[in-house]
Amino acid sequence: MYQRLRELMKKTGETAYQVSKATGLSQNAFSNWKAGIAKPGIKSLAALAKHFNVSVDYFIVSEEEEHDPKNQ
Provide the residue-wise pLDDT of the chain in tens; the chain has 72 residues.
889 999 999 999 999 999 999 999 999 999 999 999 999 999 999 999 999 999 999 998 865 455 455 545
Contact 38, 15 (CB under 8 A): no
The verdict on domain 2-71 having CATH code 1.10.260.40 is yes
Task: Report pTM.
Answer: 0.82
Degrees, nearest 5: CA angle 48-60-13:
40
